[in-house]
Structure 1
Amino acid sequence: MTFTYLDLSEVDLGKLSTAVSDWKDTVSGLKSLAENARKGMQAKSDQARWAGVNATVTRGFVTKTTKEIADLHTEASSIHQVLADAHTELISLQKQIRTAVETDAANLGISVQDIGEAKVRCFFRHIRGDSDERTQEQLDAKQELENRINRILAHAAEIDASVARALRKSHGGDKHNAGHSSYESLDDAQAQRAAELADLGPKMSDKQYMELNSIMRFNSKDADFSTDFYKSLGGPKEALEFYGRMSLDGTIGDDKGRLALARQLQRNMGVALASATDPDNKSHLPTNWATEFRKLGTQQLQLYPGGSSAPYGYQVLGGILRYGNYDARFINPIAEHVVQLHREDPYRFMSSKPDIPGSDLDWGYNPSGKNGAGYDPLTSVLEGLGHSPDAAKKFFTDTPTVYNEDGTVNKNASLDYDYFDELNKTDFEWAPDSLAHAGSDESKHAREMGPNALGHALEAAVTGDAWDADPPELHRDEDTAEIMRRVIERYNVASEEGPPPEVMKDSLAKMGASYIDDLNYSIMDFGGSGDALDRDALFKNSSDGSTRTSFDEQKARNFMMLVAGDEDGYKSLTSAQQLFMASGLAAFENDEDRGIAFAQNAAKVHGILDESRSHGIREEFKDPEEAQQMLQEQNGEWRKSLVSGGVTVAATAGAAILLGPAAGVVAATAVPLVMESAGSAISTAYGNHTMEYLKDNEYTNDPQALQAVQDVEKIGERAATQPVLNFAQTTGMSNKEATDLINEIEQSYLAGKTAISNNEKVSS
């Protein structure tokens, strides 16, 4: 029978609760009966002096009966534990799905249709007179709801299948023989089944592979399950051998179905290893697993008898480490060891790459296909740090530990470099993590994998969340701010170390957007006229004073010039700045002087960003006419920041700051945002007039819209200036005072542009 949506949403779990209670009573009764049998007839039988037939038949019968009663108790206990755990999990899932359908779907005007196979379809109900046109935000919300419900159903279906399987094995199918498989929990039953499937290795059928992934998908974060699963593989070496064989099986050839299964396994094993190696979890692997992984890191593993190109342990482990939020005590010693090995010989692991004729370039230990084939463990471990923010922060700030070749600690040695400086050197030599032949088109990007992974690790260290978290959340402190300070010092237009690799620019932009408040705070010293006390008062709502950072003003400006010179970097920083400025105006509606000072400084930052992009365009486009056209498309972006009231963002790409009117300019959460070249697709509470303006002008992306964007500097012209007028009205300004305010902000904006223009002249 196929599990359906109605099975979960409408089933009476009270009956299951009653069954759990009944089995609990049965376990209690059988426990007493088993104890009585053992202490009573079994003890008397053991003490009796049997002779003749009684010595063989009667004594054997008593022993067998006592054992069967004990086996019945074991079986009943196993059934009770499995049912009790299933009841607890199903109650939670039923509550989640009812909330999703009865509350979330209802609020969105969405209906949920059961389509079988443990799946549903969500659709908007038609209302008479409705055009049935939906915004992208509404469509995204519908899809998110559908995905969420289907995940809940898939989880419930897995529990249902696991319980049925565990009950069958506990019973054994023999009514005359109690006591077969026994489980202490549902996790225990699922871990045992996962171990049975894993034991098949590449011989698993696709159906069995899907079952293994299904079990792991919903249990990999459970420390009891993940610890039991990894132990069932044997040890560190056996775990690497299993994953290595499954990776090669999934990445060879053109079987897309098998590749998809290998990708799921890679993610599941990574998340499970992170859970199983966290020493703070009640259940976790012994610490010697980490030591053994480091020892195996420089040893080659024979995945297949007589096979060639045997991989190093770190190459196989790296594929697993790419997923999961790892504890620093586990992953950082591995990361340090890998960096130190790489410094000694950047190509030491490349010797194991197979020489494969043809185009099978995906064969390796990173089935995901993201950032390399999995032969460079440095790329892999940096990706691991990119998903482990606390570990990444410690990696870039803690004093390094020296490791020997075998991964043991060299207590008598110290490093004369730190990992931030080492990895961010201009001449750092990255190994080509690809099977592409040198000189081929595919090999051109082979050395970009490492720098891209470094950007991800820095993102996690600076923002306090995984680089690809959706949505991300900022967790900043003194250490993250210190790393950001070093990023700004290393990557700016005046850096002696040179520009960043192209693939790192998106990470730098997201880091800058996450620190947009502190970049504004730093620019407040522009021209040496900033007052520290006034500056702190202006930014009191944007971040805790203990974590607020003043970067060197010139370096902060040079960093923005570097990042915003690139189109995508410009969009990310400008998006964040728009929201920061808008919410700041709302926060100071009752404090005219500070509101004006805040707006002036924010406009100055916008000037810096706009002129930085203009400079970037001049560098990108040599044809004067083409450059002018592009410049017009970008000009005036800052003015659209003057949106109304407090802003709450929920969109789909990039990075910005979640701000709200109640909390003022609160840099609390990094959230995604979309920017188009000539306008902005921002999902926010703009106000009807502004939304109409966006709809009529910006979304059309035509020359008339571009001209309208430039014309908004005129007082009363369209909606972009409305919030400034709102601010003036709230604070009781006269028309002349409001006009002067617009002019002052314009001058601040021009001052920011001039600063970058001067930079450009000096650099040229």
Structure 2
Amino acid sequence: MALTYADLLEVDLGKLGTAVSDWKKSVDALKTAAESARKGMRAKSDAARWAGVNASVTREFVTKTTKEISDLHSEASSIHSLLSDGHTELVALQKKIRVAVQQEAPGLGVRVEDIGGGKVRCYFAHVRGDTDERTQEERDSKQELEDRINRLVAHASEIDSSLARALAKSHGGDKHNAGHRSYESLDDAQAERAAELAKLGPEMSDKQYMELNSIMKFNARDADFSTDFYKSLGGPKEALEFYGRMSLDGTMGDNKERLALTRQLQRNMGLALASATDPDNRSHLPASWSGEFRKLGTQRVELNPHSGMSAYGYQLLGGILRYGNYDARFINPIAEHVVQLHKKDPDRFMANRPVGASDLDWGFNPSGKSGAGYDPLTGVLEGLGHSPEAAKKFFTDPATAYREDGTVDKKATLDFKSYFDELNRNDFEWPPDSLAHAGSDEAKHARDVGPNALGHALEAATTGSAWDADPPALHRDEETWKIMEKVIGRYNVASEDGLPHEAMKDSLARMGAAYIDDLNYSIMDWGGTGDELGRGRIFGESGDGSKRASFGQWEARNFMMLVAADEDGYQTLSAAHQVYSASGLASLEDNRDDGLAFAHNAAKVNGILDESRSHGIREEFKDDETAVIMEENKQAEWRKTLMTGVLTAGVAGGTALVLGPAAGVVATTVIPVVMESGASTISTAYGNHTMEYLQDNEYKNDPRALRDVQELERVGERGAWSPVRNYAIAIGMTQAEQLALNPEIEQSYLAGKSAISSNEKVSA
């Protein structure tokens, strides 16, 4: 019977703690008895010169008794270790769930209800006189709490099941025969059970598959468990065989339940491999595993001897690497080898795709994200996208040449300077990692997955965080800044190497948002109006505590012009900039001159972003003037919603969205969250009725419609002015001073717009 929510919340774990103490006493006593038996009667028995039947019977009895005492000691030690580990983990989980239920839930006005099956639901309690209207933030918080409680219960249930199973094996069920399976920890027991299930391969029932995933889900990041699990599979080749067989089994046909289980296994195996191959962990796999994986990378691994189905080792490993934060010493040599193999023959691995397949999901990437899994380049780039330290080294460290078998070739030279240069070539040939037939709708985006994965790897390298981290965080330093400088140099409207692939643009926008402070800093001295000392004082230190450096005025502008031309990129950068501006001004309330200089510069950046998007709209709809107007109105409506929604909720609500410029850098967590909030607001900010009204009335000289349109056209100025107005009030400006300042800020905003709209040269 599975452990329930009520069990975890209410059970008295003190009794289990007492049992742990009692078993510890038994272990100590039995250890003494075992030593006495071995050194006493067993030693005397072995030394005695007995003869006859009595001698053989007595010696055998003494030997057997000594062994039984030793076995009792081993069994007691195993039981104590299991109970101790189980008690420690359950106490920690119980503490977390009590905090969630007894403190966090009431704080949110939420009640927790046990709905059976180890699940709970959270709901808002009705209060008399309350409208029961909830904000999206409140609903999100409620759902996050519900999901977290359910995860805690599921984890406790897994520990309870594993503990019961291991205790049964340790005891053996025979009261006359002590000593059966002995465990040094609960991890040992869980790894053993996972190995037992894994040996079943595709023959696992769904129930057994769920059990395996449950064990791995809560232990994959535990290096003791993950190392034992991978060793139990046999070795690198056997690990790849297991994953490949399970992957093909789960992606074949239309069994959604089996596919879901396989997706969980893919993630669990990736997380486990990352922890098992980190040499800094106490338990880890030998360094030789990386070399063996490279050797297997270009070899065929047989998966189904009856059908002759085989895969290259790298195709299988690529599916696993998509999840987990890997150590650079493990993943980077693999990534380098894969890139070099791709350069020699871009279609090498693609030639292994099944021809004429009707099942487009069948392959080695059950996740369904970024390809079918036949191109290992995508897999390793996704792996780097979740491994920020490794990604940083991959794009900055000197390249190492590898032979076909994955061994280092010290005599060879490579014909590219760095992996950044190689992968960001405009003519880089990305494989179509898909089973879609040429000419079909599905095949149109077959070559998108590689650039998309490259964008993710660059995000990790420039932000110091996994590209899809939840919650997001920024860990920038001098090395991440240098990579971002290369990104800005490569991807901008003046780049001689061409525009980015469409699939990369969302990543470029998020990278820009992560460096919105440095982009502002780079723009500050535009036109020669600022001085370096003043600029440094206003913007403070960089994220790593070092002196802030500039990307270059024109370089920063050209990058923002490229990114903000697209709607999604514009919204991402604009949302980040508005939050940064408001919070930055709030930190400069004690220095009026610096605050106003910061405000003027922020207005210029506003102008750059708005005019960049306007250029993008005019280019996108150059043959449809009505569409241009509609899109620009949409942009204006979104800006208005951003200012009154995200900004008000964030800054006015007291959230520390951005550390003040004097303190340094964009906050470690909130900017990406704000962008998400902005995006969700955007989807409802301008309903069809609003756009239809504008379209229907704009050309009929309707006075109200014209006023609305004029106001929307001025929202850019309003967007630039709103945070400044709050700042002006905070520093005690009179209304007359505010009225005088408003047109000055507008002029800075227009200066940003005009630098683009006037079609000035795009390079310094």
TM tier, shorter chain? over 0.9
- Please state whether the residue corresponding to 2:326 is helix, strand or coil: coil
Letter aligned with residue 355 of structure 1: V
Q: 1:47 to 1:356 in 2, by over 3 A?
A: farther
Match of 1:506 in 2: 506
| 2: CA distance, partners of 1:245 / 1:676 | 38
| 1: CA distance, partners of 2:665 / 2:647 | 11
Q: 1:700 to 1:674 in 2, by over 3 A?
A: farther
- Please state whether the residue corresponding to 2:112 is helix, strand or coil: strand
Output the aligned Cα RMSD.
2.9
| 2: CA distance, partners of 1:394 / 1:355 | 38
Match of 1:423 in 2: 423
**Contact 1:247/1:366, CA 8 A, preserved across alignment:** yes
Q: 1:155 to 1:561 in 2, by over 3 A?
A: same
Distance apart, 1:480 and its partner CA: 0.6
**Contact 2:41/2:62, CA 8 A, preserved across alignment:** yes
Match of 1:30 in 2: 30
Match of 1:447 in 2: 447
Distance apart, 1:586 and its partner CA: 1.1
Q: Does 1:402 align with 2:406?
A: no
Match runs of 1:463-612 below 5 Å: 463-540=463-540, 543=543, 546=546, 548-612=548-612
**Contact 1:311/1:352, CA 8 A, preserved across alignment:** yes
**Contact 1:300/1:311, CA 8 A, preserved across alignment:** yes
Match of 2:116 in 1: 116
Distance apart, 1:236 and its partner CA: 0.7
Distance apart, 1:366 and its partner CA: 0.6
Q: 1:711 to 1:274 in 2, by over 3 A?
A: same
Distance apart, 1:759 and its partner CA: 3.2
Match of 2:384 in 1: 385
In the alignment, structure 2 segments of 5+ residues that lack a partner are 695-703
**Contact 2:562/2:612, CA 8 A, preserved across alignment:** yes
| 2: CA distance, partners of 1:646 / 1:37 | 76
Match of 1:244 in 2: 244
- Please state whether the residue corresponding to 1:367 is helix, strand or coil: coil
| 1: CA distance, partners of 2:25 / 2:706 | 76
| 1: CA distance, partners of 2:330 / 2:534 | 45
| 2: CA distance, partners of 1:678 / 1:107 | 25
Q: 1:141 to 1:11 in 2, by over 3 A?
A: same
- When the two structures are superposed, what TM-score results if normalisation uses the length of structure 2? 0.92
| 2: CA distance, partners of 1:290 / 1:274 | 12
Match of 1:376 in 2: 375
| 1: CA distance, partners of 2:689 / 2:11 | 48
**Contact 1:171/1:179, CA 8 A, preserved across alignment:** yes
Match of 2:697 in 1: none
| 1: CA distance, partners of 2:632 / 2:723 | 26
| 2: CA distance, partners of 1:82 / 1:676 | 44
Q: 1:97 to 1:707 in 2, by over 3 A?
A: farther
| 2: CA distance, partners of 1:206 / 1:474 | 39
Q: 1:325 to 1:498 in 2, by over 3 A?
A: same
Distance apart, 1:549 and its partner CA: 3.0
Distance apart, 1:642 and its partner CA: 6.8
| 1: CA distance, partners of 2:324 / 2:453 | 15
Match of 1:207 in 2: 207
Letter aligned with residue 627 of structure 2: E
Q: Does 1:9 align with 2:26?
A: no
Q: 1:605 to 1:15 in 2, by over 3 A?
A: same
**Contact 1:610/1:635, CA 8 A, preserved across alignment:** no
Distance apart, 1:351 and its partner CA: 2.2
Q: 1:98 to 1:267 in 2, by over 3 A?
A: same
Letter aligned with residue 238 of structure 1: E
Match runs of 1:202-351 below 5 Å: 202-351=202-351
Higher helix share: 2
**Contact 1:464/1:476, CA 8 A, preserved across alignment:** yes
Distance apart, 1:734 and its partner CA: 3.6
Letter aligned with residue 385 of structure 1: L
Q: Does 1:623 align with 2:624?
A: yes
| 2: CA distance, partners of 1:273 / 1:352 | 25
Match of 1:691 in 2: none
Match of 1:54 in 2: 54
Distance apart, 1:482 and its partner CA: 0.7
**Contact 2:576/2:674, CA 8 A, preserved across alignment:** no
Q: 1:699 to 1:35 in 2, by over 3 A?
A: farther
| 2: CA distance, partners of 1:254 / 1:212 | 22
Q: 1:648 to 1:274 in 2, by over 3 A?
A: farther
- Please state whether the residue corresponding to 1:112 is helix, strand or coil: strand
Distance apart, 1:631 and its partner CA: 1.3
| 1: CA distance, partners of 2:647 / 2:278 | 40
Distance apart, 1:731 and its partner CA: 3.3
| 1: CA distance, partners of 2:510 / 2:166 | 47
| 1: CA distance, partners of 2:78 / 2:43 | 26
Match of 2:150 in 1: 150
Match of 1:688 in 2: none
Letter aligned with residue 382 of structure 1: L
| 2: CA distance, partners of 1:543 / 1:485 | 15
Q: Deviations over 1:163-220 (max 9, x none)?
A: 0000000011111111111100000110111111111111111111110100000000
| 2: CA distance, partners of 1:198 / 1:680 | 41
Match of 1:363 in 2: 362
| 1: CA distance, partners of 2:720 / 2:606 | 15
**Contact 2:538/2:594, CA 8 A, preserved across alignment:** yes
- Please state whether the residue corresponding to 1:311 is helix, strand or coil: strand
Distance apart, 1:494 and its partner CA: 1.2
Distance apart, 1:44 and its partner CA: 1.7
| 2: CA distance, partners of 1:726 / 1:592 | 13
Q: Deviations over 1:389-433 (max 9, x none)?
A: 000000000011111111111112232311111111111001111
| 2: CA distance, partners of 1:706 / 1:44 | 109
| 1: CA distance, partners of 2:105 / 2:203 | 43
| 1: CA distance, partners of 2:171 / 2:187 | 18
| 2: CA distance, partners of 1:155 / 1:278 | 24
Q: 1:406 to 1:626 in 2, by over 3 A?
A: same
**Contact 1:510/1:572, CA 8 A, preserved across alignment:** yes
- Please state whether the residue corresponding to 2:304 is helix, strand or coil: coil
Q: Deviations over 1:7-60 (max 9, x none)?
A: 111111110000000000000000011111111111122122333322432222
**Contact 2:436/2:442, CA 8 A, preserved across alignment:** yes
Distance apart, 1:666 and its partner CA: 4.0
Q: 1:536 to 1:707 in 2, by over 3 A?
A: farther
- Please state whether the residue corresponding to 1:285 is helix, strand or coil: coil
**Contact 1:270/1:322, CA 8 A, preserved across alignment:** yes
Match of 2:698 in 1: none
Match runs of 1:711-722 below 5 Å: 711=711
- Please state whether the residue corresponding to 1:635 is helix, strand or coil: helix
| 1: CA distance, partners of 2:647 / 2:430 | 45
Letter aligned with residue 388 of structure 1: S
**Contact 1:278/1:326, CA 8 A, preserved across alignment:** yes
Letter aligned with residue 86 of structure 1: G
Letter aligned with residue 486 of structure 1: K
**Contact 1:583/1:661, CA 8 A, preserved across alignment:** yes
- Give the total of aligned pairs: 746
Distance apart, 1:637 and its partner CA: 6.4
Distance apart, 1:146 and its partner CA: 0.2
Match of 1:690 in 2: none
| 2: CA distance, partners of 1:70 / 1:218 | 34
Distance apart, 1:504 and its partner CA: 0.6
Match of 2:745 in 1: 745
| 1: CA distance, partners of 2:598 / 2:661 | 18
- Please state whether the residue corresponding to 1:113 is helix, strand or coil: strand
**Contact 1:712/1:720, CA 8 A, preserved across alignment:** no
**Contact 1:634/1:678, CA 8 A, preserved across alignment:** no
In the alignment, structure 1 segments of 5+ residues that lack a partner are 651-655, 683-693
Distance apart, 1:523 and its partner CA: 0.6
Q: 1:61 to 1:163 in 2, by over 3 A?
A: same
**Contact 2:391/2:460, CA 8 A, preserved across alignment:** yes
Q: 1:648 to 1:329 in 2, by over 3 A?
A: farther
Match runs of 1:165-184 below 5 Å: 165-184=165-184
- When the two structures are superposed, what TM-score results if normalisation uses the length of structure 1? 0.92
